[in-house]
Amino acid sequence: QQQVKQSPQSLIVQKGGISIINCAYENTAFDYFPWYQQFPGKGPALLIAIRPDVSEKKEGRFTISFNKSAKQFSLHIMDSQPGDSATYFCAASSKGAQKLVFGQGTRLTINP
Amino acid sequence: DVKVTQSSRYLVKRTGEKVFLECVQDMDHENMFWYRQDPGLGLRLIYFSYDVKMKEKGDIPEGYSVSREKKERFSLILESASTNQTSMYLCASSFTAGIRLPREEQYFGPGTRLTVT
């Protein structure tokens, strides 16, 4: 049973455009929502994370938007660049948990 | 920089063989994790360990075991490899300090692509 559902599975965006990846969850006990970025041949690396006490978190061109009532969160990449081409994973975890539950992943391609 | 290394990048084994995947981290992290990554399924947790000689089952532990005899090393063991264990295996580590939880910022190794024929 997939506790975090991620979409789309793949995404192609033109350079300079906005990339948007969405995740939805059911477990209302989740209180930590990170995004990981994985380049080919590398392991995932933490990109940005949010807790549900805020609705948005921005770091440079990357923004997480969080909608607690809808149980959804999304990653927005502004001014997308070819170097952003990677696979992105959302994840979630509940308070006191020692583990993350990951989404299915989105392969993002930025065309030059 | 945190470094998590995995013993092999590619591994080919036969059905029924016993397989050892090794992971070493150099940052004195308390917590270590083993995941498998499959297309369309994301990362799924197999086992994790929050201390030497301690282990906890993840979401898909069947067919796997683990060993953590030293803080820096976490091994994943496939007792009798099967074709459905063909996958990318990722090791990760994290530290716990104060109110930090093991779930926070996990550092991943480059992965081992295992093929079982």
Reported as a single tens digit per residue, the pLDDT across A69-87 is 999 999 999 999 999 999 9
Among the partner-chain residues A6, A44, A101, the one whose CB lies closest to the CB of B108 is: A44
Phi, psi of A24, deg, nearest 5 = -130, 150
Taking residues B12-25, report their average pLDDT.
Answer: 97
Task: Determine whether the interchain pair B103/A100 forms a contact, defined as Cβ–Cβ distance below 8 Å.
Answer: yes
Task: Determine whether the interchain pair B108/A102 forms a contact, defined as Cβ–Cβ distance below 8 Å.
Answer: no
- Residue B13: what pLDDT? 97
Among the partner-chain residues A46, A89, A93, the one whose CB lies closest to the CB of B42 is: A89
Question: What number of C-beta contacts closer than 8 Å exist between A and B?
Answer: 65
- Judge whether residue B16 has pLDDT over 90: yes
Q: How confident is the model at residue B2 (pLDDT cuts 50, 70, 90)?
A: low
Q: Where are the alpha helices (DSSP H) in B47-115?
A: none
Name which of A14-18, B22-26, B70-74, B104-108 the model is least confident about: B104-108
Strands (E), chain B: 4-6, 10-13, 19-25, 31-38, 42-49, 56-57, 64-70, 73-78, 87-94, 107-108, 112-116
- Judge whether residue B101 has pLDDT over 90: no
Residue A23 CA to residue A104 CA, distance in Å, equals: 9
